[in-house]
Amino acid sequence: MDFEPVTVTSGAAFLDRITVNSVRHQLTAYDRRLEEVAGRSGVGRTIATLRQRVYAAIAEAYPHPNQGCTCQLAERLSQAESGESTAHRDLSLP
């Protein structure tokens, strides 16, 4: 997977997205919690609830990338509703 580098001309949406990603993976137990529920019954709903809680906490603690939280949560919930699994991708993100 190719990664887009951050530059002085990077757009606000991109910066918000990578800020939220960094906070989610570095400052929360998000990845560990996903690993704990993997393979259990009701995992889809559990993951959706976990995502909502984590994104809400990030948005509250870091108001600036709040739009990034809203966009990512909406995207993840939309993918879950359409049946597309994102748990494996979430676990492999840096």
Q: What pLDDT, on a 0 to 100 scale, did the predictor assign at position 67? A: 64
Buried b (16+ CB within 10 A) or exposed e, 2-26: eeeeeeeeeeeeeebbbbbbebbee
pLDDT in tens, 31-87: 898 889 888 888 888 888 888 898 888 888 887 766 667 777 777 777 777 765 444
pTM beyond cutoff 0.85: no
Task: Report DSSP state, residue 1.
Answer: -
Q: What pLDDT, on a 0 to 100 scale, did the predictor assign at position 1? A: 60
Q: What pLDDT, on a 0 to 100 scale, did the predictor assign at position 68? A: 67
Per-residue pLDDT, averaged over 1-29, amounts to: 86
Q: What pLDDT, on a 0 to 100 scale, did the predictor assign at position 93? A: 33
Per-residue pLDDT, averaged over 11-29, amounts to: 87
